[in-house]
């Protein structure tokens, strides 16, 4: 009984709606066209109401209307999305790089023999490459004068000319380049870093300042 009551109610509302819409129709040539479309709408509404009453699903999928609306906006939105994504990625890489540098600093400072001034990490930032996010190179700046490492944070010490030196595991380190820290300590540090980050020895470079 309740279902029939709902059906009748829906039909009455549909009829009132149709009447209301018909009042809105313009007079003249266009009237019959609009009336035809409105008639179709009323048919859909009635079929849906009857379908609900009979527990059938008559609701068809509404095909998309082809309009020019927003046609030109899509590429712009996609472009902006890519830009934002690239920016976020760059920020993420930078944060990751800084985090790694701090981690390596903490790691090398465990060895008191080597006074590390600065740590620079370069990371593979090319999104398309297979090794995206991997460590490309670690550059450790080590103080030639151990006392310099203590003074350096104050920012009053003038840093001398930097000569790049690469240290590799298994290779004998020349004693003149390592005025501070024993060659063994430096080799151990490089070994720790290469093992910890799964790097090749040539990826860890040491610069004496």
Partner 1 sequence: MDVLQIVAIGLMATVLIGVLKSQRPELAVLLSVAVGVILFLLVLGKIGSIVDIITDLATRAGISMVYLGTIMKIIGIAYIAEFGAQICRDAGEGAVATKIEFAAKILIMVLAVPIVVAVLQSLLKLLG
The answer to whether 7 contacts partner 1 (rule: CB under 8 A) is: no
Establish if 24 lies at the interface with partner 1 (CB under 8 A). Answer: yes
Q: What is the DSSP string of 62-91?
A: -PPP---TTTTHHHHHHHHHHHHHHHHHHH
CA–CA distances in Å: residue 38 to residues 61, 63, 145: 19, 18, 91
Task: Tell which one of 4, 27, 74, 110 touches partner 1 (CB under 8 A).
Answer: 27
CA 46 to chain centre: 50
| Residue closer to partner 1 (CB basis): 5 or 172 | 5
- Residues of this chain, 30-59, that bind partner 1 according to CB under 8 A: 30-31, 33-34, 36-38, 40-41, 43-45, 47-49, 51-52, 56-59
Residue 62 in the binding site for partner 1 (CB under 8 A): yes
Whose structure tokens read 């600093």?
A: 105
- Residues 169, 199: contact at Cβ < 8 Å? no
Residue 109 within binding range of partner 1, rule CB under 8 A:
no
Out of 1, 2, 29, 154, the only residue in the binding site for partner 1 (CB under 8 A) is 29
H or E, element range at 136: strand 135-142
Rule CB under 8 A: which residues touch partner 1?
10, 13-14, 16-17, 20-21, 24-31, 33-34, 36-38, 40-41, 43-45, 47-49, 51-52, 56-66
């Amino acid at each position: 009984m309740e279902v029939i009551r709902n059906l009748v109610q829906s039909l009455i509302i549909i009829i009132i709606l149709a009447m209301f819409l018909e009042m809105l129709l313009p007079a003249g040539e266009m009237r019959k066209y609009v009336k035809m479309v409105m008639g179709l709408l009323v048919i859909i509404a009635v079929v849906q109401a009857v379908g609900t009453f009979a527990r059938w699903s008559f609701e068809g999928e509404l095909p998309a209307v082809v309009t020019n609306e927003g046609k030109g906006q899509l590429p712009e939105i996609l472009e902006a999305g890519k830009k934002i994504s690239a920016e976020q990625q760059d920020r993420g890489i930078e944060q990751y790089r800084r985090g790694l540098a701090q981690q390596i600093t903490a790691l090398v400072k465990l060895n008191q023999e080597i006074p590390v001034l600065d740590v620079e990490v370069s990371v593979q930032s090319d999104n398309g490459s297979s090794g995206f996010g991997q460590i490309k190179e670690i550059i450790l700046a080590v103080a030639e004068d151990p006392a310099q490492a203590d003074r350096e944070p104050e920012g009053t010490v003038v840093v001398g000319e930097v000569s790049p030196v690469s240290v590799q595991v298994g290779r004998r380190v020349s004693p003149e380049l390592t005025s501070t820290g024993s060659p063994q300590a430096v080799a151990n540090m490089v070994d720790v870093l290469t093992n910890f980050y799964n790097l090749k020895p040539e990826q860890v470079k040491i610069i004496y300042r």
